[in-house]
Structure 1
Amino acid sequence: MRDALESRKPLVSFPVAFFRLVARLPYAPITRDQLLMLLEGNTADPGPLLADFALEHRPLEAELPRILGVG
């Protein structure tokens, strides 16, 4: 998304341990349950969905400019 928007803002990386601490705060931007879900992973095989609905798989990078209304 950053590339599609041609953003020049720097990327800042935070370790998981930081978010484990932040998630305990009362007004945190992420809850402990959300963090657990992100760490667990929540993806599935897209094959059955694509087949059942006769969809074509296209990479997100190819569609982002259209989705974001740029380029």
Structure 2
Amino acid sequence: MSQDSVPAGHRRLSAKQWTAIVLGIIALIFILQNLNYVRVELLIFHTSAPLWAILSITLIIGYLIGRFSKKRD
């Protein structure tokens, strides 16, 4: 075993993993601070839902629009 090898379970986290952890914590804090319900109107539909759920749905829709509107090579 060389000095450069690290035993299993003792690997360091990569920058991408740290970023995912930090963003996950921020998302959890955001969700816990926005538990109140808001009224949502879309054309003829009216409902109330938690603000965090509405914003999450909007984020997902925006991601899908960006994903499907990319030009394919």
Q: Tell me the TM-score range normalised by the shorter chain.
A: under 0.3
Higher helix share: 2
Higher strand share: 2
TM-score, scaled to structure 2: 0.25
TM-score, scaled to structure 1: 0.26
Higher CA-based Rg = 2
RCO comparison, higher one (Cα < 8 Å, 6+): 1
